[in-house]
Chain A
Amino acid sequence: MVNPEIYEANRETAWCPGCGDIPLRQCLAEALAEMDLKPSQVTMFTGIGQAAKMPHYIKVNGFNGLHGRALPPAIGMRIANPEMKVIVESGEGDTYGEGGNHILHNIRRNPDIAHFVHDNQIYGLTKGQASPTTGEEMTTSTQPNGITARPFNPIKFAVAMGATFVARSFVGKKEHLKAMMKAAIKHKGYALIDILQPCVSFNKVNTYQWYMKRVYELGDDYDPTDYDTAIKKADEWGDNIPIGIIYKAEGVPIFRDKHPQIGDRALVKEKKEPTEFQALIDEMK
């Protein structure tokens, strides 16, 4: 394995002391190091928000784009370059709210992408409004009467859509999170991890202690390849929150398989001259 320090961006983060993003970043660096990947072999696409600042704090190729739009540019890279390890990372507001349409359709595409969603059940950077996963009973500055919509269940959504790898983890369980990250990056196809993490500044309900008391790791007796089991497990929330691979399907064609005309060619290595296209002219004669 390579030394995790090669991922150091050596920059002061904009994250609060105690933020869940901090151990998450550490797990990611260690996971990449343990997989023997060099920074130039990994590209991270993010949207906007505190989580989306990750490419500034970890040294890999980075695309810090627009709010909600982290997934589509990763598709562009999947077309260009089959070798690159592609990670999409953003908060749950970015992913499930603003970018809802993209996650829906990229589950259908099944691109070879590892998608890490920092889920702290609150909007942090805009200072404490409800996110798609905020509990209904919470009141916020913009929802003084409580949340006006039921919380989004990303796990059930992804399982029901037939995502080929659906997992949940928690930043308080570092070894678990690291193992999930590595499994997701290795998975051939779209891999979603909903990562529970506290927001120490704005979420006074879902704290480290709150999660610690509730999360439990799925054991060896759990079969993630069984859809019916997975869809039931996806409903578990509240006093007991399962973490681990909830659902997994192997052998499903990936996005590039649906474009046989490019096979495993790295388009980025091909540059054609105009004179190579004479056939396009001739067919119009």
Chain B
Amino acid sequence: MDFNLVIAGEAGQGLNTLNFVLSKILFKSGFHVYSTKDYESRVRGGHNFMKIRFGDTKITAPKDEQDILLALNKAAVEIHQDFVKEDGIMIYNGESYEGELREENQDKEIFSLEAALIADDIGNGRVANTVFVGVLLKLLGLDLKVAEEVLGEYFRRAEDIKGMNIDALRKGYEKAEVAKRRFEMPEVTPRDNQILINGNQAIGMGAAVAGVQFYSAYPMTPATGVMNYLAKRQNDLGIVVEQAEDEIAAIMMALGGSYSGIRSMTGSSGGGFSLMVEALGFAGIAEIPLTIVNVQRPGPATGLPTRTEQADLLFAINASQGDFPLMVIGVKDAEDAFYQTYRAVNLAEKYQMPVIILSDQFLADTEINLEAFELDTLQRYNGFISDEQAEGISDYKRYEFTEDGISPLAYPGQMTESVVLIDSDEHDEHGHIIEDAETRVAMVDKRHDKIEKLILEDLEEPEYIGPEETDYLLIGWGSTYGPLQEARELLEEDGYNVGLLTFSDVWPLPIEELEDRIDNTVSIMVENNATAQFSRLISSETGIMVNHEIVKYDGRPYTAEEIYDAIKEEVID
């Protein structure tokens, strides 16, 4: 069973806080929670909304159809009324809704409440949104205990504000008595080891747990959340977040940190990542460990700043001039984002090369409940030589030729009798500039050997879900993972044999699982971009042509129904 509510209004109306508090109450009550954000690139006005989907089973995708619309302004009713179910309810922020509901929506209940008046009575206009929390809990048949705890925690720093919010909550609960609609919730009990987290937080947490000590970045939506996560905790963690003057400085600072022996990371969205690409190649030739997160938004150039797309894939793989080793990971959900970021930081140090994490706005802003991450399953890979080894070195070669292409890694000052020289020019084993053909070829080969080793030791095949024999095989990468899972289930309920293959590691491209599963089925690529970039990557790397491509590039994430409908229409029927 799942249940959907949407909170809609304009920027500046406190939607974020309302969404956070509601999600937390539902989460703490024991529900599975999945909340997404749809917002405009502005500080005030416009139209923003947040959807909270919750229930007693795991949820992996957003849904369009809503049980409850909480409309903080008139525009919210106008825009969202069609998506409210016949037996749903619209809660309107005002004395009464003065607009006309469209004909097909006439029978839907609309419950109006002038929360501002109630808030003023309590003594603080800003508690108006909390009145609606009370209303919702009444309609859902939930008691106020958990809500009072959550509000108490949220406003713990100001006793009077906390009290007024709890008053507002109770008032809303009472006022909703007169609304006709009531919803029956399944029995759930709070679970101990669960966390509520979004994609950006998961990446920030993965970085911190991986021992990242320095994060340098320039703010850019929708990647800023990673920076905010780490900056907020930098004092507790004893690490540094520095706001760079531009993205070129951001990546170069991180490379300087990494060269100096600390785990360093940078992040941006496509525009900022574009500025970083020369330095990306530098990390490649100079063999400096570096983790970069690109939280994608629709491009090119400024594109749609607050929306989602998966269209930086081929660019990320091909960014920067020249041939050099690079790894690209498309993270699938908040859980994957945490573990993959952890892994990326460690692989960057193991292979002394750049690793790019591709996320997107959809994943960045989607908050979900998860089983708490298990830290004792994680192993730190230490790529640097030990201090004891360092003491014995008198002629350190940063780029020493070795069997697997990986040279012993030391940082400046680690060896008292030797220095560390790195270079963006082609260089010899010591890091000195060279011009000769022989050394050039040997160094290109050395760097390439690292990728061969990575493919053998660390590349992860895509995850497969479904029966062994399939009629249809869905293929995706990155954040479409959740919607694809639900779409697969919907198709299965219709009686089809459907498999789902989703990639996190996209470069180098793992091909074994794909080659094993692609024959004797109808393959369908589903991507959140206009030109099916992953499909093109697969065909250029393997010669495999998928049978159907389903794409979406309106800046919005997929719902499961959209994928299901597209497959029914374009493939099955």
Q: List 7 A-B contacts (CB under 8 A).
A: A59-B419, A61-B413, A62-B423, A77-B412, A80-B411, A261-B234, A274-B376
Q: Are B415 and A40 neighbours in the complex by a CB distance under 8 Å?
A: yes
Select one of A80, A84, A273 contacting B257, CB under 8 A: A80
> Smallest CB-CB separation from B259: which chain A residue?
A63
Residues of chain B within 8 A (CB-CB) of A281 are 195, 205, 372-373, 375
Nearest chain-B residue to A81 (Cβ)? B260
Name the residue among B239, B255, B261, B412 with the largest chain A CB count within 10 angstroms: B412
Tell me the bound Cα distance from A234 to B420 in angstroms.
38
**Contact B262–A268 (Cβ < 8 Å):** yes
A268 engages B279 (CB within 8 Å): no
A274 touches B416 (CB 8 A): no
Q: B194: nearest residue on chain A (CB-CB)?
A: A285
The 8 A CB mask of A97-117 against B (1 = contact, 0 = none) is 000011011000000000000
Binary contact readout B390-419 vs A (1 if CB under 8 angstroms, 0 otherwise): 000000000000000000000111011111
How many of chain A's residues have a CB under 8 angstroms from any CB in B?
A: 57
Complex contacts, A259 vs chain B, CB 8 Å: 240
A192 at the interface (CB under 8 A from B): no
Min CB–CB distance B281 → chain A (angstroms): 9
Interface-forming stretch among A19-27, A67-75, A152-160, A170-178? Answer: A67-75
Cβ contact within 8 Å between A268 and B261: yes
B-contact bits for A193-224, CB 8 A (1 contact / 0 none): 00000000000000000000000000000000
Q: Mark B residues whose CB is within 8 Å of A.
A: 193-197, 201, 205, 208-211, 213-214, 216, 233-240, 242, 244-246, 248-250, 252-262, 264, 278-279, 282, 286, 342, 372-373, 375-376, 378-380, 382, 411-413, 415-425, 431-433
- How far, in angstroms, from A265 to B237 measured CA to CA in the complex? 13
* Neighbouring B residues of A55 by C-beta, 8 Å: 421
Return chain A residues, CB-CB under 8 Å to B246.
101
Q: Determine chain B's interface SS by DSSP, over half rule.
A: mixed
* Chain A residues near B260 (CB-CB < 8 A): 43, 76-77, 79-81, 84, 268
Least CB distance from A281 to B in Å reads: 5
Apart from A74-B256, A76-B262, A102-B245, what 19 extra A-B contacts exist at CB < 8 Å?
Answer: A43-B260, A53-B433, A62-B423, A66-B278, A69-B279, A73-B255, A73-B256, A76-B255, A76-B256, A79-B242, A81-B260, A81-B413, A105-B245, A268-B261, A270-B213, A274-B211, A274-B380, A278-B375, A284-B201
What is the CA–CA distance of A29 and B569 in the complex, to the nearest angstrom?
75
Which residues of chain A have C-beta atoms less than 8 A from B213's C-beta? 79-80, 267, 270
Contact across chains for B249 and A274 when beta carbons are under 8 A apart: no
Q: Across the interface, which residues of A come within 8 angstroms of B216, CB to CB?
A: 72, 75-76
CB distance from B527 to the nearest CB of A (A): 30
User: Given the complex, which residues of A lie within 8 Å of B261, measured CB to CB?
Assistant: 80-81, 268
> Which residue of chain A has the shortest Cβ distance to B281 in the bound complex?
A66
In the complex, what residues of B have CB within 8 A of residue A59's CB? 419
| Nearest residue, chain B, Cβ from A268 | B261
In whole Å, how far is B242's beta carbon from the nearest beta carbon of chain A?
Answer: 7
A84 touches B413 (CB 8 A): yes
**Contact A79 B431, CB 8 Å, known A55-B421, A285-B195:** no
- Given A267-B213, A274-B375, does the pair A45, B238 have CB atoms closer than 8 Å? no
Judging by beta carbons under 8 Å apart, are B432 and A72 in contact? Answer: no
**A267 touching B214, Cβ below 8 Å:** yes
Docked-complex contact B419 and A72, CB < 8 angstroms: no
Bound CA span A262–B236, Å:
10
- CB of B254 within 8 A of CB of A76, answer yes
- Once bound together, how far apart are the Cα atoms of A55 and B431, in whole Å? 10
Shortest distance from the beta carbon of A234 to any chain B beta carbon, whole Å: 23
Are the CB atoms of B425 and A62 closer together than 8 Å?
no
Are B279 and A66 interface neighbours, CB within 8 A? yes
User: Within 8 Å CB of B214, what residues of A?
Assistant: 76, 79-80, 267
Closest residue to B235 on the A side, CB-wise?
A: A261
Q: How far is the CA of A45 from the CA of B249 in the complex (A)?
A: 14
Determine whether the beta carbon of A274 is less than 8 Å from that of B419.
Answer: no
Within 8 Å CB of B278, what residues of A? 66
Which of A39, A76, A259, A275 gathers the greatest number of chain B CB atoms within 10 Å?
A76
For the complex, is A232 an interface residue (Cβ under 8 Å from B)? Answer: no
Neighbouring A residues of B259 by C-beta, 8 Å: 63, 73, 76-77
Tell me if A38 is interfacial: C-beta within 8 Å of chain B. Answer: yes
Establish whether residues B417 and A267, one from each chain, have CB atoms under 8 Å apart when the complex forms.
no
